Structure 1
Amino acid sequence: MKRYVVWGLLWLMGAGCTADREQPLATLVDRALAHAERQSLVLARKYTDREGRLPRTWEKGEDVSSDSRWWCSGFFPGTLWYLYENSRHDEVLEYARMYTARVEREKFTTDNHDVGFMLYCSFGNGLRLTGDSTYREVLLTGARSLATRFRPEVGVIRSWDHSREKWQYPVIIDNMMNLELLMWAAANSGDTTLRRIACSHADKTMEHHFRPDYSSWHVVSYDTLSGCPHVKQTHQGYSDGSAWSRGQTWGLYGYTAMYRWTGDDRYLQQARHIARFLLNHPNMPGDGVPYWDFDVPATPSTPRDASAAAVMASALLELSGFTQGAEAQGYRDFAIRQIRTLASPEYTAEEGENGGFILKHSTGAYPFASEVDVPLTYADYYYVEALVRLKRMLQS
């Protein structure tokens, strides 16, 4: 791919301080990755002696951690793997292995759908970069554990087991992100059942999760007898009919990845439709960092969600490689706008600050007053992934 950067256009599109807008993109990416590595090493060193713990966020001046059971446990080791891919520094590799090992027991998890987040981001990147055969076993075992949550009569993977008084068989849009683990496992084991499960889930989610404008419900619960939806609502969004920002980006990323794995044009078209919804939304801020929900009344104090911007930027960069011409350029340009914004002082923490996390201003679950305007480990993961993807594109 030829270099596609036009500096004048990028200056007009850029966000953050003037210096960031004028900085050549390749330089910005290199500096952002170097800063991300320094920050992540702050976190890695801090948690070295906290056996079994992984960073989650930093709130009110205090570390908030989790064990491997928390759905975010795979993101910090995954961030370290991407940073090692970029720098090949031995210290980063050592920590990547250490924190990845802390997640291994989740290969036996069958009581939630987040096994893909936990294992594919950590062990998946580790296997890709090292070829360690023990990582392969973890991923295959984890995929089979995830597959136990699929019921053929419903056709989708169950997300949650709680709140049975209102949901019979709840599926959240986030679950699209866990299908990569199944697709990888099918391709690397010959177990075609895993691929059928992933495709069935993607197909039924496409049928029932999306509205005519290609915005997505957060939660769809299915009747276990008919296999049809009986409830469509939100859990983390502004209202049942609203477009919860991170949920929209989960869908964009998930269908882009499913196209990569299958070559099925239906998944590509779905990703393109979602991308158009996001890029053309009247409530998308000019800097490309969404408010926590697209339908929330926007004021200067309305929280943004840097994690949604990071997921979206990474997905758009990949989607640009599956499209052509002005459409592909538009996806790249918008992703670059988001990356420039996230790399600016407004969103990137000073070295050693922010508890060691890279990005500021993410929103976890606003309706529950949980993790509002804080750093989040998955925001850092998808931001670093986007930087690595962009660097590859610039070098090709």
Structure 2
Amino acid sequence: MKLKTPLLLLLVALTSCGNKPDLVQDNFSFASTQLKQAFVEMDAVRSAEPREKQALRDKQNLGPLASPRNVEADGTLHMVISRDWTSGFFPGELWYMYEYTKDDFWKQKAREQTALIEREKMNGGTHDMGFKVYCSFGNGYRLTGDAAYKDVLLQAAYTLTTRYKENVGAIRSWDHSRDKWDCPVIIDNMMNLELLFWAFKTSGDSLFYNVAVNHARTTMKNHYRKDYSSYHVVDYDTITGAVLHKHTHQGYAHESAWSRGQAWGLYGYTLCYRETGLPEFLEQAKQIENFIFSHPNLPKDLIPYWDFNAPGIPAEPRDASAATVTASALYELSMYDPANGKDYVMKANTILENLSKGYRTAPGKDRGFLLLHSTGSKMHNVEVDVPIVYADYYYLEALLRKQKLEKEGTAIL
């Protein structure tokens, strides 16, 4: 039987598409190999740790080594206890693997790793409750509905609100370096507001909503310059609420634009708009996006240098983690700004494609991490041009958001 032309063209198109690897499928297949290798690497680190170190942690009630954080410059795997701000990302990756594959192997591994973070729900000495608890228990609750997870999340949210400073209108970030700062608030803290918004929707307690919105507004007022670039740290007087200092602690200089800080802001204000519908937050996210992508120092592959104003560009380290956070945020932002939505998606797709082509680790190598070339804090010579766990977490999240947006028209997981 002779095929009609439209049908023939359709079959040819489908065949052509089949020859091109699916970006999401390819990366999750790769992630499966790498994360299974990560289990081997983690077991090796735990086995090799001197008993004296384990005993000291037990004595101090710090808990066991919980999660991988990065590969050191010498190639060794750096693992951290639950208190570390990055501890929740690895269990979050495992939940994303379960979400994509529906394989109970990943569900069980995610449960095991998530359990190691539970003690943090009472840790009032940190603002990083969202990073630690929401990325782990939050994803777990979303995918399983486990009531015990819900209880952990609510307790963590209440604990986080104890760091809110009424006179400042923001959540205190760091407790260290009290000789340097009175009440430091960092741009990263925008990411932890998602836990508070979740708690408001779940409990109905307006405390969570008010703290989150006030924090976002205070940060918008004081962290951002006229060009919509962000400082890293703003220090406040806890009595008067006055701004004392504006610093960029992990960037090149106080007046420079630290790349990951710009990404935190883009993601944070996008989620604030999702949860509140307040136009001011959408406008802020749009302006931050414009700053990032109109900057003359943004490379053609859209993977930024660690600081937009680093003096040695182009001979400066990149920060893949800033790129993955940005890509994930762009998929969601595209839902709220129809005039620029296609452009946002195109940029996010370009980031993921370039990361996949030029930044992935070697299969079975690099201690089970997914991406190379992230930079934690170059000015402190910490985690410079190495694999880092939060780059991997937001990489998988961005891939899932891309797939869901294409299939269902929403990037909300």
Is 1:306 aligned with 2:306?
Answer: no
Q: C-alpha distance in 2, partners of 1:331/1:23?
A: 26
**Aligned residue in 2 for 1:7:** none
Q: Is contact 2:66-2:117 (8 Å) kept? A: no
Match of 1:17 in 2: none
Answering whether residue 71 of structure 2 is matched by residue 58 of structure 1, we say yes
**Aligned-pair distance for 1:249?**
0.3
CA positional deviation for 1:23: 7.3
- Equivalent in the alignment of 1:332: 345
* Paired position in structure 1 for 2:219: 205
Matches of 1:115 and 1:29, distance apart in 2: 29
Amino acid at match of 1:58: V
**1: distance between equivalents of 2:121 and 2:283?**
33
Cα distance, 1:190 vs. partner?
1.3
In structure 1, the residue corresponding to 2:153 is in which secondary structure? helix
Contact 1:290 1:308 in 2 (8 A): yes
Which runs of structure 2 are paired with 1:251-262 in the superposition (5 Å)? 251-262=265-276
8 A contact 2:377–2:383 mirrored in 1:
yes
For 1:6-155, list aligned pairs within 5 A: 24=20, 27-47=22-42, 50=46, 51-59=64-72, 60-155=74-169
Could you say which residue in structure 1 is the equivalent of 2:3?
none
Contact 1:220 1:233 in 2 (8 A): yes
Q: What are structure 1's unaligned runs of at least 5 residues?
A: 1-21
Which digits, 9 at most, give the CA deviation of each residue in 1:7-64, with x for residues without a partner?
Answer: xxxxxxxxxxxxxxx974x712210111112211211344358454211111222111
User: SS of 1:65's equivalent?
Assistant: strand
In structure 1, distance between residues paired with 2:345 and 2:19: 17
Q: Is the 8 A contact 1:182 1:198 kept in 2?
A: yes
Q: Find the partner of 1:220 among 224, 231, 234.
A: 234
The share of aligned pairs that are identical, in percent, is: 50
Q: Match of 1:14?
A: none
> Residue 356 of structure 1 is aligned with which of 357, 362, 368?
368
Deviation for aligned residue 1:298: 4.2
Q: CA shift at 1:165, angstroms?
A: 1.6
Q: Return the alpha-carbon distance in structure 2 between the equivalents of residues 172 and 298 of structure 1.
A: 26
Q: Which residue of 2 aligns with 1:395?
A: 407
TM-score (norm. length: structure 1): 0.92
- One-letter amino acid matched to 1:161: D
Mapped to 1, the partners of 2:246 and 2:29 lie a distance apart of: 43
Contact 1:317-1:390 at 8 Å conserved across structures:
yes
Query: Aligned residue pairs: how many?
Result: 372
Partners of 2:79 and 2:168 in 1: CA distance: 35
Q: Which runs of 5+ in 2 are unaligned?
A: 1-17, 47-63, 409-413
Pair 1:384 & 2:379 matched: no
Counterpart position of 2:194 = 180
Q: Distance in 1 between matches of 2:140 and 2:282?
A: 27
Q: 1:279 aligns with which of 293, 318, 321?
A: 293
Counterparts of 2:101 and 2:323, CA distance in 1:
24
Q: Distance in 1 between matches of 2:41 and 2:385?
A: 22
d(CA) in 1 for partners of 2:19 and 2:298? 24
Asked if structure 2 preserves the Cα contact closer than 8 Å seen for 1:176 and 1:202, the reply is: yes
Distance 2:124 2:285 in 1: 29
Q: Which residue of 1 aligns with 2:359?
A: 347
The superposition leaves residues 233-267 of structure 1 with CA deviations (integer Å, 9 ceiling, x where unpaired) of: 11100000000000000000000001111111111
- 8 Å contact kept, 2:95–2:107: yes
- One-letter amino acid of the counterpart of residue 343, structure 1: S
RMSD: 1.4
Q: Which stretch of structure 1 is more off in the superposition, 219-228 or 238-247?
A: 219-228
Corresponding residue of 2:381: 369
Check 1:52–1:165 CA distance in 2 against 1; reply closer, same or farther (3 A cut): closer
Distance (Å, rounded) in 1 between the aligned partners of 2:270 and 2:250: 23
2-side partners of 1:23 and 1:276: how far apart? 35
Taking the TM superposition and a 5 Å limit, the aligned residue runs for 1:166-177 are 166-177=180-191
User: Which one-letter code corresponds to 1:294 in the other structure?
Assistant: F
Q: For 1:56, what is the secondary structure of its paired residue?
A: strand
Given residue 111 of structure 2, which amino acid in structure 1 is its aligned partner?
Answer: R
| Alpha-carbon distance between aligned partners in 2 of 1:165 and 1:310, rounded to the nearest angstrom | 34
Shifted more, 58-67 versus 370-379: the winner is: 58-67
Report Cα offsets for 1:124-177 as digits up to 9, x if no partner.
Answer: 000000000000000000001100000111110000011112211100000000
Which SS does the other structure have where 2:376 is aligned?
Answer: strand
